[in-house]
Amino acid sequence: DTAVSQTPKYLVTQMGNDKSIKCEQNLGHDTMYWYKQDSKKFLKIMFSYNNKELIINETVPNRFSPKSPDKAHLNLHINSLELGDSAVYFCASTPSSGANVLTFGAGSRLTVL
């Protein structure tokens, strides 16, 4: 039973399209995150939600909109996709906010053509 699951695992799309990535955790954690890992493998935090409330919103284009319907789910919607959005997006969760140990999903590889 996967602790943090995200779908889809692979996503190939054209520039200008809109796409969503979904994430669910069954760990009972309060805090969820979206990270972006670029081609150089650097992990950069994008957003963090604690109990459905946005607590971290790094400098990310407003084409990226997270949504947390409940504390077990955190989805990421991306409008007007650009070539530079190609990356692997990781969902993660922690028991609470703060620098706790992260449990990551397997990642969603987005390729924008």
Partner 1 sequence: TQLLEQSPQFLSIQEGENLTVYCNSSSVFSSLQWYRQEPGEGPVLLVTVVTGGEVKKLKRLTFQFGDARKDSSLHITAAQPGDTGLYLCAGSLNYQLIWGAGTKLIIKP
- 87 binds partner 1 per the rule CB under 8 A: no
- 98 binds partner 1 per the rule CB under 8 A: yes
Q: Which of residues 13-72 bind partner 1 (CB under 8 A)?
A: 40-45, 56
DSSP string for 36-93: EE-TT--EEEEEEEETTEEEEE-S--TTEEEEEEETTEEEEEE-S--GGG-EEEEEEE
| Listed residue (63, 67, 38, 42) closest to 53, CA to CA | 67
- 7 binds partner 1 per the rule CB under 8 A: no
Out of 7, 13, 20, 106, the only residue in the binding site for partner 1 (CB under 8 A) is 106
Binding residues for partner 1 (CB under 8 A): 4, 40-45, 56, 90, 92, 97-99, 101-107
